Chain A
């Protein structure tokens, strides 16, 4: 179907160059603003009637510095991700993964989980669509775990706020957990623990959606739309996360942090997971907290475990999946993923 390029209504004819210029202009402006963050935050903090080196002064400076920084980064990352993901769709991904039982189906699914656009509100139809088309259950889980776990927003912010070493460690281990957890669950033959109606269901073939002619400017529009949608939804979590980060940064004594989240306390890793799972926020909200925790000397393994469990295992997601999975399968899912997170946490506390 390649017939429709010429019959687009007049108001859609904003010239292409306007889009290119706007994107370029926004990138330059964002980059310039990014360079002014430290002077800006120091200037604003100085307006408050508190000593700069007091607890309150530290907390305010952290907050004022991090809010514009995270929002700028978030906007840029969401845009670039939106454009990149416009080349992928759940339908294409399903076609690639269907019938892939071989060992490389799992890492492939994890990779596609990162690249395929999907929002948690459609994870049920997506799950059914995958399973009923012959995508093995384990491979489907690898896909579903990797999506949120190693999403570009989390990675990009981690890179900018905490540094490339930790971002890389997180990427490698997040990806490994998604792959291995899917593989383990594939081996466990869990199909019988799907809800009955899902097992019996033969979803119709994906309607032969007409392949629409998509121009590069269309992809830029997708990116812009994503900014509106995601940043518009997530900013409140970002403010809350940075607020908590600022309190930790300003008020929590290092000695106390070492006692609770230091590498010595063996229970700190499972405790981090237990605290992390019911916490529902977005990667963009949790990373400022991670930044503050690490800055105060929390052990890397414990912090990684906390971050992974917040991002990858969320209660609302489980409630949505309850429509297709039995409680037993959900419990196994949580147990397998938690085991991977715990192992990662202990490994890094032990190594460092």
Chain B
């Protein structure tokens, strides 16, 4: 079970990112628990300055723009 956090105030790209994570996880057959972090304060504390940001198992892996699909799969399988 991977825990994934998607950081973003709820813009369209943040939702797309969440969907990309779900799709990639389904494709790889990995169980994920996705948490959306939308509160500006929590986003800032996590060290994210450009959204959407992405953390896998507590480790920040991406910030700013949609993640690359290939890299996303790598983060989920790491």
Residues of A within 8 A of B (CB): 4, 7-9, 12, 89-91, 94, 117-119, 121-122, 124-126, 128-130, 132, 197, 201, 203-207, 209-210, 212, 222, 225, 229, 323-324
Name the B residues within 8 Å of A128 (CB-CB). Answer: 40-41, 44
Name the B residues within 8 Å of A119 (CB-CB). Answer: 11
Contact A122 B45 (CB under 8 A): no
B59 at the interface (CB under 8 A from A): yes
A126 to B51 alpha-carbon distance, docked (Å): 9
B63 at the interface (CB under 8 A from A): yes
Residue of B nearest to A129 (CB): B49
A157 to B40 alpha-carbon distance, docked (Å): 34
A210 to B71 alpha-carbon distance, docked (Å): 11
Name the A residues within 8 Å of B46 (CB-CB). Answer: 204, 207
Instruction: Kindly provide the distance from the CB of A196 to the nearest chain B CB, expressed in whole angstroms.
Output: 12
B50 at the interface (CB under 8 A from A): yes
Contact B49 A206 (CB under 8 A): yes
Instruction: Kindly provide the distance from the CB of B67 to the nearest chain A CB, expressed in whole angstroms.
Output: 10
B21 at the interface (CB under 8 A from A): no
* Given A4-B74, A126-B50, A121:B9 Cβ within 8 A: yes
B1 at the interface (CB under 8 A from A): no
Give the residue of A117, A210, A229 whose beta carbon is less than 8 angstroms from that of B50. Answer: A117
User: Number of contacts between A and B (CB, 8 Å)?
Assistant: 97
Name the A residues within 8 Å of B51 (CB-CB). Answer: 121-122, 125
Contact B61 A7 (CB under 8 A): no
Name the A residues within 8 Å of B11 (CB-CB). Answer: 119, 121-122
Residue of B nearest to A128 (CB): B44
Name the residue in B7, B60, B63, B73 with the highest tally of chain A Cβ atoms < 10 Å from its Cβ.
B63
Name the A residues within 8 Å of B61 (CB-CB). Answer: 207, 209-210
Name the residue in B49, B65, B70 with the highest tally of chain A Cβ atoms < 10 Å from its Cβ.
B49
A212 to B51 alpha-carbon distance, docked (Å): 17
As a 0/1 sequence over residues 44 to 77 of chain B, the CB contacts with chain A under 8 angstroms (1 = contact) are 1111111100010001111111101111011000
A212 to B43 alpha-carbon distance, docked (Å): 22
Can you spell out 11 A-B residue pairs with CB atoms less than 8 angstroms apart?
Answer: A4-B71, A89-B64, A90-B50, A117-B50, A122-B49, A132-B44, A201-B41, A203-B44, A206-B47, A209-B61, A225-B65
User: Can you add 8 more A-B contacts, CB < 8 Å, to A90-B50, A128-B44, A207-B63?
Assistant: A7-B74, A121-B8, A121-B11, A124-B9, A203-B44, A204-B47, A207-B47, A212-B68
